[in-house]
A and B are shown apart, each in its own frame.
Chain A
Amino acid sequence: MPITTNDFPALTDDLQEIFNEGAKRKISENMGFKVFEVLDTDRRTFDHLVLHGVSGIQEVTPGQDLPSITTEEGDTITWTQRYFGAVANVTKAMRKFDLHEQIDDVARTLVDDAFDKVDQSFADYLSQGASASHVDVYGKTISTVGPDGLQLFHALHTNPITGNTYTNIISDGTNDNPKLTREAIVYQRSLGKLMKDPNGIIRPVNYDLLIVSPGDEDLAERLIGSEFLPGSANNDKNPLYKKMKIIVWPRLAAAADGTDTSAYWYLADSTGVKKTLKSKFAERPTLDPPDVVYRSKNWGFSCDFFYTNGIGYQQYIAQSDATEA
């Protein structure tokens, strides 16, 4: 077991291996990485433009100037990188008495904490999406509006060109925010296919992703995963079978502030949702060895990262809080 600074590189390699293995596991387990568009950036502030559909394409006479598309037809939003980190201390006693399990656990806890909090920060954007701000998993109140100045889920999203609005609150045709039922899914899917841009052109949203918390997993599987319609008179074919996928996201069951959101459910367009939910990493979580060995003889391995989450064009995901109101 490494005790002196000469042994330091060996321990660093060990811990980084544990960290990388843990990170790989977490990235595959955490649902946020499947729903959000997670990209790298070098910018501290990231400017994003949302064009709601432009009136640009027109018939032109050969030789005539082509009509211009301007950013005036869209909305902009800026997200600023935030910095997070912690240090895992490997004490002299851990090294001297060969407490490898403790050292291993310190590294594993650190990687779990980093990725779990990132995933919870993603989940809160959905579960707290009916508010313009929320207290995030790091304890800070953050503004979570989209480019139109409204929260993720709103009945009257606006655009800068016309007075047209659109809603991304799930409806079953009678009530907004219905409970999870086949009828509600079918109705919302048909609404999505008839979505119009501000200029009145149909730009379909294909709600092919059902996102639920674990409490609704069984029901979701019955509604989507069954080839036939349970309880139907002639055991009818289930038209949703294989047309949709289910994501069961444990962190949607409760927000970081403790709010119970287990009944909430979401429909998303698996391709388009990346235009709605965005995450930009200026630095992904890594485990870095200390530059110096401190007087305490602790070796402090740090994990730090820069990232920001944001909302783009809200149209590609819809929510029901199951209150039927």
Chain B
Amino acid sequence: MIGAQPNWAKLVTQGRAKAHGIPWTVKESEALQKGYTADEVRAGIMSEKAREEQGDRDVANKEQVIKEAKKLGISFDEGAATVGDLNVEIQKVKKEKAAKAEAKKIADAEKKNKKGKDNK
């Protein structure tokens, strides 16, 4: 859109704009004034009810993440580990496993090739 360009990057960082080029609506500004964080308002949380529901979703999300971490064999302290920490560990383990699987695939293919040549 043409026209005025405020420093959107700064405004977004300071929680004074919803996103680059998108100002807060009046309703969203009011929610910010009531103490909801910029991230909450960006996620559509502008009431206590919505905040509680989001909290429940976070709990459900944590249970799921813990289950997945255990399945991957990650050792951690359930009380101390945050969802964010666990997600990082899960991604790391998944990446390592994928790399190992890829290496095994290549090794197997090489073995197969060698076997084929020997038979000739």
Contacts and interface: CB of A to CB of B under 8 A. Distances in A.
Interface in A123-161: 132-133, 140-151, 154-156, 158, 160
B70 to A, nearest CB: 43
Contacts of B5: 77-80, 143
Q: Give the dominant DSSP class at A's interface.
A: loop
Main secondary structure on B side of the interface with A: mixed
Interface string B26-40: 100110110000000
Contacts of B24: 149-150
A155 B31 CA distance: 13
Max chain A C-beta neighbours (<10 A), residue from B6, B8, B23: B6
Contact of A77 (B4, B14, B23, B29): B4
A156 B26 contact: yes
A160 B14 contact: yes
B57 to A, nearest CB: 28
A77 B7 contact: yes
A140 B23 CA distance: 19
Contacts of B2: 80, 82, 140-143
B62 interface: no
A76 interface: yes
B4 to A, nearest CB: 5
B14 A310 contact: no
Interface residues of B, number: 21
A325 to B, nearest CB: 11
B26 A154 contact: yes
Nearest to B6: A77
Contacts of A141: 1-2
Interface in A67-100: 75-80, 82
A9 to B, nearest CB: 38
A165 interface: yes
B105 to A, nearest CB: 51
Interface of A: 75-80, 82, 132-133, 140-151, 154-156, 158, 160, 165, 310-311
Given A77-B4, A143-B21, 15 more contacts: A79-B3, A80-B2, A132-B23, A133-B3, A140-B2, A141-B2, A142-B4, A143-B5, A146-B4, A148-B6, A149-B8, A149-B16, A149-B24, A154-B26, A154-B29
